[in-house]
Amino acid sequence: MAPLPPVLAQRFVAALGTGGKRERTRAQLVHAAAHVFADRGWSQATMAQVAEAAGVTTGTVYNHFASKEEIAEALSLALAAAVNQAIVASIEPVKDAAQRMAIGQRRFVWLAAESPSWACLLLEMAAIAPRHVREVEQDALRDLRLGVRQKRFKVPSEESAMEVVTGVVQAAMRRVAAGAAPPRHDVACAALVLRALGMDPAEAMEIARRPLPDLPPFTG
């Protein structure tokens, strides 16, 4: 399992917590669960396998998590927070909603290219613990509403627009993670989303092609 990019790994560790002994043990278990879930799939993984990967007893796992669902919840929260916080920080100076939307789309696809196993894990955990996905979607929804106010986007409804925003990025992540995507698939998908939100095709492509801002380092 390829590691997360360092800028995301630091945020992931921070999201898990590094305080007292109990918090450190929980973080150790979530890290172990991430590898077990990625290798075996969440449905086939067992608490005993998580314990073995963490180097603890199964009883220790149950002292911290009552079920696989609880581990998935903790993993989903930490991973989604790490990725989303980094993206939000990178686009904070950007005022144009269209560019913000394109950056967000491309960064999630970038994760699939850089760390395919972690991207697939994020998608799987999102299906198991969807509450945290909804929290991530709130940032995209804010950019959508900003684009409407700026008269950059014209959509029949927020709900239908968000179906496009989330559906395209998730499909693109899966394709890239599987190694089945053509070059610059992130750009093409971001341009497609902008067009679906009502933008002129040429302008949508120009915005989608702009260089990505760096992900800022984690400062704690």
Q: Does the pLDDT at position 107 exceed 80?
A: yes
Q: Is residue 188 part of a domain?
A: yes
Work out the average pLDDT over 7-21.
Answer: 84
Q: Do both 114 and 100 map to the same domain?
A: yes
Q: Would residue 213 count as lying in a domain?
A: no
- Evaluate if residue 131 carries a pLDDT over 80: no
Provide the pLDDT for residue 166: 94
184-197 tens-digit pLDDT? 999 999 999 999 99
CATH number reported for the structural domain that contains residue 31 in this entry: 1.10.10.60
Query: Domain check: are 143 and 40 in the same one?
Result: no
Other C-beta atoms closer than 10 Å to the C-beta of 47 total 19
> Looking at the domain assignment, is residue 200 inside a domain?
yes
Q: Are residues 39 and 81 in the same domain?
A: no
pLDDT score recorded for residue 33: 93
Residues with Cβ within 8 Å of residue 157, at least 6 apart in sequence? none
The C-alpha atoms of residue 214 and residue 172 are separated, in whole angstroms, by 21
Identify the band that residue 133 occupies on the pLDDT scale cut at 50, 70 and 90. confident
User: Domain check: are 189 and 90 in the same one?
Assistant: yes
Mean pLDDT, the chain, integer: 93
Number of domains in the chain: 2
Write the pLDDT tens digit of every residue in 139-177. Answer: 999 999 999 999 999 999 999 999 999 999 999 999 999
Percentage of residues in the chain with pLDDT exceeding 90? Answer: 70
pLDDT > 80? residue 130 = no
Whole-structure pTM over 0.85, yes or no? yes
User: How many Å apart are CA 90 and CA 213, to the nearest integer?
Assistant: 6
**217 domain residue, yes or no:** no
Residues 63 and 98 in one domain: no
The span from the CA of 212 to the CA of 91, in Å, is 9
Residue 67 lies in domain? 6-72
Compare 40 and 133 and report the one with higher pLDDT.
40
Please check whether residues 116 and 161 belong to one and the same domain: yes
Per-residue pLDDT for 66 more than 90? Answer: yes
Residues 157 and 120 occupy one common structural domain: yes
Domain match, 160 and 53 both: no
pLDDT > 90? residue 63: yes
187/65 Cα distance (integer angstroms): 40
More confident residue, 208 or 132: 208
Tell me, yes or no, whether 82 and 157 share the same domain. Answer: yes
| pLDDT over 90 (residue 32) | yes
Residues 139 and 183 in one domain: yes
Cβ pair 22, 16 in contact under 8 A: no
CB 157 within 8 A of CB 166: no
Q: Is pLDDT of 46 > 90?
A: yes
- What mean pLDDT do residues 120-130 have? 85
Give the domain-ending residue among 48, 72, 96. 72
